[in-house]
Structure 1
Amino acid sequence: MKYVTLGSQGMIVSAQGLGCMGMSTTYGPSDEQESLSTLARALDLGVTLFDTAEVYGPFVNESLLGKAFAGRRSEVVISTKVGFRFTDEGRLAMVDGKPVVCGDPVHVRSAVEGSLRRLRTDCIDLVYLHRIDPQTPIEETMGLLGRLVTEGKIRYVGVSEASAATIRKAHAVHPLTAVQSEYSLFERGVEANGVLQTVRELDIGFVSYSPLGRGFLGGKLTSLDGLAPDDFRRQDPRFDGPNLHANLKLVERVTRIAGSRGVKPSQIAIAWTMSRATVPIPGTRRIAYLEENVASSSFDLTHEELQALDEAAPTGAALGERYSAGMLATIGH
């Protein structure tokens, strides 16, 4: 495994991390023991960056990582995300189909305290503001996160799915170590909206979530048949009817390029995000897929392969929005 410095504040992580969301939510039922085994195997393979959030479950994914890394805390870099509201029953708060985002400093401090307890640690390596609250000035939220760094409760600060303008405002208050956004051969919006250019200019690290296009770029998902009833991809516009069939053609093109290299489409997709100087965090709860993903860290793509991939999956090639209308309303602020 290679290691890189994320941003300009000195945070060193594995060049590929592990997204842990699917171990607790979103993609149907999971098995805790299988997830714990996968987390342990990731450490054995040299993965150090593990990504979670309070909303994953909610709350149970952070608890899973707290359990998994008990006694091994010094070996891992844990990133979590805060900034949603929850009901008294512990569910994600929703209004008119839209999750309720909250960047109020009092709320964010309470959220970080909860994450500390669930992760069984006295300091979290990296805390992202999960979504930007347009009702709370980003300067106020970042001021609080900066104070939490001073207090020793978190080490580094990031934002997720923020606009280029907000990234600049946030970074001016407290240096951002990372920006996390969806980025893959299937979703290249950050190339067009100024986000990738901004983080490069400000020397902020970039963490790519969903580098496999929510499983699309694995090359095995050709229909919704077999997905769990509560798998969120059943409501994902890109998996819907005509969009699904059109997007499979993009996957076929990537698969052909991978085949000429003798690797899996998932591996070439992850290698592509790494070639873009980003740290991908592919998610899986199975050891076999983890090992396939990590293997993509061992090879570099040629100029010809990169050119072929750009032609096969240019910006805007995927049909359909990348989220439902409610979730779309929470991004890009």
Structure 2
Amino acid sequence: MSASRTALTNVNGRVIGPVGFGMMGLTMPWAPVDYPIAVKVMKTALEQGANLWNGGIHYGTPQANSLHLLKHYFQKYPEDASKVVLCIKGGFTGMPNGPTNTPEGVRASVEEATIVLDGTKTIDIFECARIDPQVPIKTTVKALAELVKEGKIRGIGLSEVSANTIREAHAVHPISSVEVELSLFTPEPLYNGISDACHELNIPLVAYSPISRGWLTGDLRTIDDLAADDKRRMLPRFKPENFDQNFKLVEAVEKVAKRKGVTTAQVAIGWVCRVGGIPIPGSVREERVIENGKAASLTEEDMAELQRILDTLAVSGERFGGPHEKFLNA
């Protein structure tokens, strides 16, 4: 899927933003961040060209989640509302409950998000964070299509879905974006038909965790670099039994970065762009946002070298582990 040929389309039939090597996104933070700091980071991200903002009702508590932060931002900078393509995830209350994608569930989720935003910004794309195995995707998309007609949302996105689900959903209503984990640590969407389906249907492929949850920042050298309360310690790929194996991939990418005079994160983001994804890295630091906005320009030789690395060094451990795994690529 070629990034240079893709655009964020199908939001009421209108192109709402070019997608290419220069366009990036921003994921709202999970961890608590003081609003003045967060607002400065968000403003910097927008100035760097990161105009696809991705948040979720479950990113935080019902009283303080990414929607509350977004409302605060757009109250401070109302002129930026028209500059941002806002994608909000819902229909998911976390584990063990999992997704709730019934017509009543998605309507309640959209209405909750709309109430919190309080008119400061329209939801450009709404997507269920995970697919509900108890509800046919066609039923969910039909319900979301009604919300598009009512003007509650402007487009429909999909998250963590298979190629078959993408095609079924798109047959009911045009899909504005497909969000999946895509990185040098998780290249599977390029091989399991997801990227092909998006290319075939001209649907932008949005890549979350393009820096592999911090693996490819270069900041993590040993497991002790993770704070004792860092939530990543719960993820399989950061477990002691997997850490050393996965660090080998980091070291290999670092060699490419040093040769090109860029950071490993810039190589990671450049790779996502080259394979046709729109990277949406998350950060709470202004300097990191600036760094992430300068994706490495990778040649065919660079891409071939990175492919050899992927072919040689296997990633150890599941992405989420436990009951979460059954909701991936659904």
Residue 85 of structure 2 corresponds to residue 77 of structure 1: yes
Which of 69, 80, 92 is 1:64 aligned to?
Answer: 69
Residue 43 of structure 2 corresponds to residue 40 of structure 1: yes
Contact 1:3/1:13, CA 8 A, preserved across alignment: no
Aligned to 1:115: 113
Amino acid at match of 2:238: F
**Is 282-291 or 220-229 further displaced after alignment?**
220-229
Which of 318, 322, 326 is 1:321 aligned to?
Answer: 318
Contact 1:130/1:159, CA 8 A, preserved across alignment: yes
What 5-or-longer segments of structure 1 have no aligned partner? Answer: 86-91
Contact 2:223/2:240, CA 8 A, preserved across alignment: no
Residue 24 of structure 2 corresponds to residue 16 of structure 1: yes
Q: Distance in 1 between matches of 2:42 and 2:312?
A: 33
Contact 2:184/2:212, CA 8 A, preserved across alignment: yes
- Describe the superposition over 1:113-161 as per-residue Cα deviations: whole angstroms up to 9, x where unpaired: 1111222336311111210001011111100111111111111111100
Which of 300, 305, 310 is 1:303 aligned to?
Answer: 300
Amino acid at match of 2:128: L
Q: Distance in 1 between matches of 2:230 and 2:272?
A: 25
What 5-or-longer segments of structure 2 have no aligned partner? Answer: none
Amino acid at match of 1:62: L
The Cα of 1:225 is off from its aligned counterpart by 2.3
Amino acid at match of 1:18: L
Contact 1:128/1:159, CA 8 A, preserved across alignment: yes
The Cα of 1:199 is off from its aligned counterpart by 1.1
The residue correspondences of 1:1-333 to structure 2 (distance < 5 A) are 5-7=7-9, 9=13, 10-12=15-17, 15-20=23-28, 22=29, 24-25=30-31, 29-59=32-62, 60-70=65-75, 71=78, 72-85=80-93, 92=94, 94-95=95-96, 99-121=97-119, 123-296=122-295, 299-314=296-311, 317-333=314-330
State TM-score, norm by structure 1: 0.89
- Describe the superposition over 1:277-311 as per-residue Cα deviations: whole angstroms up to 9, x where unpaired: 21000110110000000011xx5211111111111
Q: Distance in 1 between matches of 2:175 and 2:312?
A: 26
Q: Distance in 1 between matches of 2:122 and 2:69?
A: 17
State, as a whole percentage, how many aligned pairs show the same letter: 37
State TM-score, norm by structure 2: 0.90
Contact 2:124/2:155, CA 8 A, preserved across alignment: yes
Runs of 4+ off more than 4 Å:
none
SS in 2 for 1:48: strand
